[in-house]
Amino acid sequence: MNSPLVAEKTAVNFIMLKVLAALLPAIAAYVYFFGPAILVSIALASVTALASEAAVLHLRHYPLRVYLTDGSALVTAWLLALSIPPLAPWWLIVVGTLFAILVAKHLYGGLGNNLFNPAMVGFAALMISFPSHMTHWTAPDVLAHSHWSFAQQMDFMFGGISPADSKLDAVTMATPLDTLKTQLHLERTVAEIQSSPIFSTLSGKGTEIIALLYLLGGLFLWQQRIISWHIPASFLAAMFGLAGLFYLYDPVHYASPLFHLFAGGTMLGAFFIATDYVTSPTTPLGKLIFGAGIGVCAYVIRVLGGYPDGIAFAVLFLNSAVPLIDAYTQPRVFGHAGKWFNGRKE
Protein backbone atom coordinates (compact mmCIF):
# COMPACT_ATOMS: atom_id res chain seq x y z
CA MET A 1 0.00 0.00 0.00
CA ASN A 2 2.76 2.43 0.86
CA SER A 3 5.68 3.20 -1.30
CA PRO A 4 8.52 1.02 -0.14
CA LEU A 5 10.63 4.12 0.33
CA VAL A 6 8.45 5.53 3.07
CA ALA A 7 9.38 4.08 6.40
CA GLU A 8 6.37 3.36 8.52
CA LYS A 9 6.11 2.38 12.12
CA THR A 10 4.43 -1.00 12.01
CA ALA A 11 5.87 -2.82 14.96
CA VAL A 12 3.59 -5.44 16.43
CA ASN A 13 3.09 -3.52 19.65
CA PHE A 14 2.01 -0.42 17.72
CA ILE A 15 -0.66 -2.41 15.90
CA MET A 16 -1.86 -4.11 19.05
CA LEU A 17 -2.08 -0.79 20.91
CA LYS A 18 -4.30 0.59 18.19
CA VAL A 19 -6.51 -2.50 18.37
CA LEU A 20 -6.86 -2.00 22.11
CA ALA A 21 -7.62 1.69 21.60
CA ALA A 22 -10.30 0.82 19.07
CA LEU A 23 -12.02 -1.34 21.68
CA LEU A 24 -12.17 1.46 24.27
CA PRO A 25 -15.40 3.21 23.15
CA ALA A 26 -17.30 -0.07 23.16
CA ILE A 27 -15.91 -0.91 26.61
CA ALA A 28 -17.05 2.50 27.86
CA ALA A 29 -20.55 1.78 26.58
CA TYR A 30 -20.38 -1.66 28.18
CA VAL A 31 -19.64 -0.07 31.55
CA TYR A 32 -22.48 2.41 31.04
CA PHE A 33 -25.08 -0.24 30.25
CA PHE A 34 -23.93 -3.23 32.27
CA GLY A 35 -21.89 -1.81 35.14
CA PRO A 36 -18.18 -1.76 35.92
CA ALA A 37 -17.74 -5.50 36.53
CA ILE A 38 -16.46 -5.91 32.96
CA LEU A 39 -13.44 -3.77 33.82
CA VAL A 40 -12.51 -6.23 36.55
CA SER A 41 -12.88 -9.11 34.09
CA ILE A 42 -10.64 -7.36 31.61
CA ALA A 43 -8.04 -6.59 34.27
CA LEU A 44 -8.11 -10.15 35.54
CA ALA A 45 -7.76 -11.56 32.04
CA SER A 46 -4.90 -9.17 31.26
CA VAL A 47 -2.96 -10.07 34.39
CA THR A 48 -3.49 -13.80 33.78
CA ALA A 49 -2.48 -13.48 30.14
CA LEU A 50 0.68 -11.51 30.87
CA ALA A 51 1.69 -13.78 33.73
CA SER A 52 1.19 -17.01 31.79
CA GLU A 53 2.83 -15.51 28.70
CA ALA A 54 5.83 -14.48 30.80
CA ALA A 55 6.04 -17.92 32.35
CA VAL A 56 6.05 -19.67 28.97
CA LEU A 57 8.53 -17.21 27.46
CA HIS A 58 10.80 -17.86 30.41
CA LEU A 59 10.52 -21.62 29.93
CA ARG A 60 11.24 -21.27 26.22
CA HIS A 61 14.21 -18.95 26.85
CA TYR A 62 12.71 -16.09 24.85
CA PRO A 63 13.54 -12.47 25.66
CA LEU A 64 10.77 -11.37 27.99
CA ARG A 65 10.63 -7.68 27.20
CA VAL A 66 10.33 -7.96 23.44
CA TYR A 67 7.57 -10.54 23.43
CA LEU A 68 5.70 -9.41 26.50
CA THR A 69 5.35 -5.83 25.31
CA ASP A 70 4.12 -6.79 21.85
CA GLY A 71 0.59 -6.58 23.24
CA SER A 72 -0.70 -9.70 21.54
CA ALA A 73 -1.43 -11.40 24.86
CA LEU A 74 -3.33 -8.31 25.98
CA VAL A 75 -5.49 -8.32 22.84
CA THR A 76 -6.30 -11.98 23.40
CA ALA A 77 -7.19 -11.28 27.02
CA TRP A 78 -9.43 -8.33 26.19
CA LEU A 79 -11.27 -10.13 23.39
CA LEU A 80 -11.88 -13.12 25.63
CA ALA A 81 -13.08 -10.95 28.52
CA LEU A 82 -15.46 -9.13 26.18
CA SER A 83 -16.84 -12.43 24.90
CA ILE A 84 -17.85 -13.95 28.22
CA PRO A 85 -20.54 -12.81 30.66
CA PRO A 86 -19.22 -9.91 32.79
CA LEU A 87 -20.46 -11.36 36.07
CA ALA A 88 -18.74 -14.69 35.52
CA PRO A 89 -16.87 -16.09 38.53
CA TRP A 90 -13.19 -15.16 38.59
CA TRP A 91 -11.91 -18.67 37.89
CA LEU A 92 -13.87 -18.80 34.64
CA ILE A 93 -11.97 -15.95 33.05
CA VAL A 94 -8.67 -17.23 34.48
CA VAL A 95 -9.18 -20.75 33.13
CA GLY A 96 -10.25 -19.39 29.75
CA THR A 97 -7.26 -17.07 29.47
CA LEU A 98 -4.83 -19.77 30.57
CA PHE A 99 -6.26 -22.14 27.98
CA ALA A 100 -6.01 -19.45 25.31
CA ILE A 101 -2.42 -18.49 26.04
CA LEU A 102 -0.96 -21.86 27.03
CA VAL A 103 -2.78 -24.31 24.78
CA ALA A 104 -4.01 -22.31 21.81
CA LYS A 105 -1.02 -20.01 21.49
CA HIS A 106 2.15 -21.44 22.97
CA LEU A 107 1.62 -25.16 22.45
CA TYR A 108 1.33 -24.29 18.77
CA GLY A 109 4.58 -22.33 18.84
CA GLY A 110 3.66 -18.86 20.06
CA LEU A 111 2.71 -15.67 18.24
CA GLY A 112 2.74 -16.20 14.49
CA ASN A 113 2.46 -19.97 14.63
CA ASN A 114 -0.91 -20.54 16.20
CA LEU A 115 -3.41 -22.14 13.85
CA PHE A 116 -6.48 -21.08 15.82
CA ASN A 117 -7.49 -17.74 17.24
CA PRO A 118 -6.42 -18.02 20.92
CA ALA A 119 -9.27 -15.93 22.33
CA MET A 120 -11.83 -18.04 20.50
CA VAL A 121 -10.21 -21.30 21.59
CA GLY A 122 -10.44 -20.07 25.17
CA PHE A 123 -14.06 -19.11 24.60
CA ALA A 124 -14.94 -22.45 23.03
CA ALA A 125 -13.24 -24.36 25.86
CA LEU A 126 -15.31 -22.42 28.39
CA MET A 127 -18.52 -22.72 26.39
CA ILE A 128 -18.15 -26.50 26.16
CA SER A 129 -16.99 -27.00 29.73
CA PHE A 130 -19.15 -24.58 31.69
CA PRO A 131 -22.28 -23.94 29.59
CA SER A 132 -24.40 -22.70 32.49
CA HIS A 133 -21.86 -20.11 33.64
CA MET A 134 -21.44 -18.94 30.07
CA THR A 135 -25.10 -18.17 29.50
CA HIS A 136 -25.77 -16.02 32.58
CA TRP A 137 -25.48 -12.66 30.88
CA THR A 138 -25.99 -9.52 32.88
CA ALA A 139 -29.19 -7.68 32.09
CA PRO A 140 -28.85 -4.04 31.07
CA ASP A 141 -29.20 -1.82 34.14
CA VAL A 142 -32.51 -0.39 32.93
CA LEU A 143 -34.11 -3.83 32.73
CA ALA A 144 -32.64 -5.73 35.67
CA HIS A 145 -35.02 -6.80 38.41
CA SER A 146 -32.60 -5.81 41.09
CA HIS A 147 -29.36 -3.90 41.17
CA TRP A 148 -26.12 -4.99 42.70
CA SER A 149 -23.60 -2.50 43.93
CA PHE A 150 -20.03 -2.81 42.70
CA ALA A 151 -19.03 -4.36 46.03
CA GLN A 152 -21.80 -6.94 45.72
CA GLN A 153 -20.68 -7.75 42.19
CA MET A 154 -17.12 -8.29 43.42
CA ASP A 155 -18.40 -10.49 46.24
CA PHE A 156 -20.13 -12.60 43.66
CA MET A 157 -17.24 -12.78 41.21
CA PHE A 158 -14.58 -13.62 43.77
CA GLY A 159 -16.50 -15.35 46.54
CA GLY A 160 -19.57 -16.70 44.80
CA ILE A 161 -21.71 -14.84 47.35
CA SER A 162 -24.85 -13.21 46.03
CA PRO A 163 -26.68 -10.59 48.13
CA ALA A 164 -29.26 -11.97 50.54
CA ASP A 165 -32.24 -10.36 48.87
CA SER A 166 -31.49 -11.23 45.25
CA LYS A 167 -30.15 -14.14 43.29
CA LEU A 168 -27.95 -14.18 40.20
CA ASP A 169 -31.08 -14.77 38.12
CA ALA A 170 -32.42 -11.37 39.18
CA VAL A 171 -29.57 -9.47 37.56
CA THR A 172 -29.09 -11.69 34.52
CA MET A 173 -31.29 -12.52 31.59
CA ALA A 174 -31.09 -14.34 28.28
CA THR A 175 -29.45 -12.42 25.47
CA PRO A 176 -31.63 -11.29 22.56
CA LEU A 177 -30.29 -14.14 20.41
CA ASP A 178 -30.95 -16.68 23.14
CA THR A 179 -34.44 -15.33 23.75
CA LEU A 180 -35.20 -15.43 20.06
CA LYS A 181 -34.06 -19.03 19.82
CA THR A 182 -35.96 -20.37 22.82
CA GLN A 183 -39.13 -18.41 22.09
CA LEU A 184 -39.19 -19.51 18.47
CA HIS A 185 -39.28 -23.09 19.75
CA LEU A 186 -42.44 -22.12 21.61
CA GLU A 187 -44.17 -21.35 18.33
CA ARG A 188 -44.07 -17.59 18.75
CA THR A 189 -43.42 -15.23 15.86
CA VAL A 190 -40.39 -13.00 15.58
CA ALA A 191 -42.55 -9.87 15.82
CA GLU A 192 -44.13 -11.06 19.07
CA ILE A 193 -40.78 -11.96 20.55
CA GLN A 194 -39.18 -8.70 19.56
CA SER A 195 -41.87 -6.71 21.34
CA SER A 196 -40.24 -7.83 24.61
CA PRO A 197 -38.41 -4.97 26.37
CA ILE A 198 -34.95 -6.49 25.94
CA PHE A 199 -35.18 -5.86 22.20
CA SER A 200 -34.60 -2.49 20.65
CA THR A 201 -34.47 -0.94 17.18
CA LEU A 202 -31.44 -2.83 15.93
CA SER A 203 -30.92 -5.77 18.27
CA GLY A 204 -30.93 -5.71 22.08
CA LYS A 205 -31.09 -2.78 24.47
CA GLY A 206 -27.57 -1.67 25.23
CA THR A 207 -25.95 -4.39 23.16
CA GLU A 208 -26.86 -2.58 19.93
CA ILE A 209 -24.98 0.54 21.05
CA ILE A 210 -21.97 -1.59 21.98
CA ALA A 211 -22.17 -3.30 18.58
CA LEU A 212 -22.30 0.09 16.86
CA LEU A 213 -19.21 1.17 18.77
CA TYR A 214 -17.40 -2.04 17.78
CA LEU A 215 -18.29 -1.11 14.21
CA LEU A 216 -16.87 2.35 14.78
CA GLY A 217 -13.70 0.93 16.30
CA GLY A 218 -13.41 -1.44 13.37
CA LEU A 219 -13.75 1.40 10.89
CA PHE A 220 -11.00 3.24 12.78
CA LEU A 221 -8.74 0.20 12.40
CA TRP A 222 -9.54 0.09 8.70
CA GLN A 223 -8.82 3.80 8.31
CA GLN A 224 -5.51 3.25 10.13
CA ARG A 225 -4.78 0.36 7.74
CA ILE A 226 -4.41 -2.05 10.63
CA ILE A 227 -7.01 -4.30 9.01
CA SER A 228 -8.10 -4.51 5.40
CA TRP A 229 -11.76 -4.28 4.46
CA HIS A 230 -11.97 -7.77 2.96
CA ILE A 231 -12.71 -9.96 5.96
CA PRO A 232 -15.22 -7.73 7.79
CA ALA A 233 -16.99 -6.76 4.57
CA SER A 234 -17.39 -10.29 3.27
CA PHE A 235 -18.28 -11.57 6.74
CA LEU A 236 -21.03 -9.00 7.23
CA ALA A 237 -22.22 -9.23 3.62
CA ALA A 238 -22.49 -13.03 3.77
CA MET A 239 -24.37 -12.93 7.03
CA PHE A 240 -26.62 -10.12 5.80
CA GLY A 241 -27.26 -11.93 2.52
CA LEU A 242 -28.07 -15.29 4.07
CA ALA A 243 -30.19 -13.77 6.84
CA GLY A 244 -31.92 -11.66 4.16
CA LEU A 245 -32.79 -14.74 2.12
CA PHE A 246 -34.30 -16.48 5.11
CA TYR A 247 -36.08 -13.28 6.14
CA LEU A 248 -37.60 -12.81 2.70
CA TYR A 249 -38.67 -16.43 2.63
CA ASP A 250 -40.34 -16.38 6.04
CA PRO A 251 -40.27 -13.14 8.08
CA VAL A 252 -42.43 -14.74 10.76
CA HIS A 253 -39.80 -17.26 11.83
CA TYR A 254 -36.52 -15.59 10.87
CA ALA A 255 -35.22 -12.34 12.34
CA SER A 256 -34.27 -9.49 10.05
CA PRO A 257 -30.74 -9.40 8.62
CA LEU A 258 -30.09 -6.11 10.39
CA PHE A 259 -30.84 -7.77 13.72
CA HIS A 260 -28.29 -10.46 12.99
CA LEU A 261 -25.62 -7.92 12.14
CA PHE A 262 -25.98 -6.14 15.45
CA ALA A 263 -26.80 -9.05 17.73
CA GLY A 264 -24.40 -11.28 19.61
CA GLY A 265 -20.76 -11.19 18.64
CA THR A 266 -21.12 -10.29 14.96
CA MET A 267 -19.44 -6.89 15.02
CA LEU A 268 -16.74 -7.85 17.50
CA GLY A 269 -16.10 -10.98 15.47
CA ALA A 270 -16.04 -9.29 12.08
CA PHE A 271 -13.64 -6.47 12.93
CA PHE A 272 -11.55 -7.69 15.86
CA ILE A 273 -11.56 -11.49 15.94
CA ALA A 274 -11.72 -12.75 12.36
CA THR A 275 -9.13 -10.18 11.27
CA ASP A 276 -6.38 -11.61 13.45
CA TYR A 277 -3.32 -11.63 11.18
CA VAL A 278 -1.95 -14.97 12.27
CA THR A 279 -5.07 -17.02 11.82
CA SER A 280 -6.53 -15.47 8.65
CA PRO A 281 -5.51 -15.91 5.00
CA THR A 282 -2.94 -13.63 3.43
CA THR A 283 -4.35 -13.01 -0.05
CA PRO A 284 -7.26 -10.61 -0.72
CA LEU A 285 -9.32 -13.32 -2.42
CA GLY A 286 -8.56 -15.69 0.43
CA LYS A 287 -9.71 -13.09 2.93
CA LEU A 288 -12.99 -12.68 1.08
CA ILE A 289 -13.60 -16.44 1.10
CA PHE A 290 -12.59 -16.65 4.76
CA GLY A 291 -14.89 -13.81 5.86
CA ALA A 292 -17.85 -15.07 3.84
CA GLY A 293 -17.33 -18.57 5.23
CA ILE A 294 -17.46 -17.27 8.79
CA GLY A 295 -20.57 -15.23 8.06
CA VAL A 296 -22.40 -18.22 6.61
CA CYS A 297 -21.27 -20.68 9.32
CA ALA A 298 -22.04 -18.26 12.14
CA TYR A 299 -25.55 -17.69 10.79
CA VAL A 300 -26.15 -21.41 10.34
CA ILE A 301 -24.96 -22.25 13.87
CA ARG A 302 -26.91 -19.34 15.33
CA VAL A 303 -30.20 -20.15 13.63
CA LEU A 304 -30.10 -23.89 13.08
CA GLY A 305 -27.56 -25.07 15.65
CA GLY A 306 -27.77 -25.69 19.36
CA TYR A 307 -25.80 -22.69 20.60
CA PRO A 308 -27.27 -19.18 20.84
CA ASP A 309 -24.34 -17.63 18.98
CA GLY A 310 -21.93 -19.17 16.54
CA ILE A 311 -19.17 -16.63 15.91
CA ALA A 312 -16.52 -18.46 17.91
CA PHE A 313 -17.16 -21.85 16.37
CA ALA A 314 -17.42 -20.37 12.88
CA VAL A 315 -14.09 -18.56 13.32
CA LEU A 316 -12.38 -21.71 14.61
CA PHE A 317 -13.84 -23.77 11.80
CA LEU A 318 -12.64 -21.36 9.12
CA ASN A 319 -9.27 -21.02 10.92
CA SER A 320 -8.70 -24.67 10.17
CA ALA A 321 -9.42 -24.00 6.48
CA VAL A 322 -6.90 -21.16 6.22
CA PRO A 323 -3.93 -23.22 4.97
CA LEU A 324 -6.13 -24.64 2.22
CA ILE A 325 -7.56 -21.24 1.30
CA ASP A 326 -4.06 -19.79 1.21
CA ALA A 327 -2.84 -22.59 -1.06
CA TYR A 328 -5.66 -22.15 -3.55
CA THR A 329 -5.71 -18.36 -3.71
CA GLN A 330 -2.00 -17.76 -4.09
CA PRO A 331 -1.52 -15.54 -7.15
CA ARG A 332 0.49 -16.87 -10.06
CA VAL A 333 4.10 -15.82 -9.73
CA PHE A 334 5.25 -13.85 -12.77
CA GLY A 335 7.32 -16.04 -15.02
CA HIS A 336 6.01 -19.29 -13.56
CA ALA A 337 3.24 -21.35 -15.03
CA GLY A 338 0.38 -22.55 -12.93
CA LYS A 339 -0.37 -22.12 -9.30
CA TRP A 340 2.12 -21.78 -6.52
CA PHE A 341 1.55 -25.23 -5.11
CA ASN A 342 1.96 -26.85 -8.53
CA GLY A 343 5.21 -25.06 -9.06
CA ARG A 344 6.54 -26.17 -5.72
CA LYS A 345 6.73 -29.81 -6.72
CA GLU A 346 9.93 -29.38 -8.71
Min CB(196)–another protein separation in Å = 31
Contact of 259 with 203, CB cutoff 8 Å: yes
CB 331 within 8 A of CB 283: yes
Give the one residue of 125, 216, 258, 296 binding another protein; rule: CB under 8 A: 125
Q: How many residues bind another protein (CB under 8 A)?
A: 9
Rounded to a whole number of angstroms, the minimum distance from the CB of residue 75 to another protein is 23
**CA–CA distance, 79 with 326 (Å, rounded to integer):** 25
As a whole number of angstroms, the longest Cα–Cα distance in the chain is 75
Determine the angle formed by the axes of helices 284-304 and 311-329, rounding to 10 degrees: 150
Mark the segment that binds another protein (CB under 8 A) among 11-19, 124-132, 199-207, 302-310: 124-132
What is the contact mask toward another protein in residues 130 to 149, using x (rule: CB under 8 A)?
x--x----------------
By beta-carbon proximity to another protein, the closer residue of 128 and 248 is 128
Minimum distance of another protein from residue 125's CB (angstroms) = 5
C-alpha R_g of the chain: 21
CB contact at 8 A, 272 and 218: yes
- Which part of the chain contacts another protein (CB under 8 A), choosing from 109-117, 123-131, 149-157, 172-180? 123-131
Residue 330 is given by DSSP the state P
Dihedral sign computed on CA atoms, order 199, 201, 202, 205? negative
> Of how many residues is the chain composed?
346
Among 17, 95, 258, 321, binds another protein (CB under 8 A): 95
Shortest Cβ 51–another protein spacing (Å): 20
Q: Report whether 34 contacts 138 (CB < 8 A).
A: yes
CB of 122 to another protein, least distance (A): 11
* 212 near another protein (CB under 8 A): no
Q: Which residues bind another protein (CB under 8 A)?
A: 91, 95, 103, 107, 125, 128-130, 133
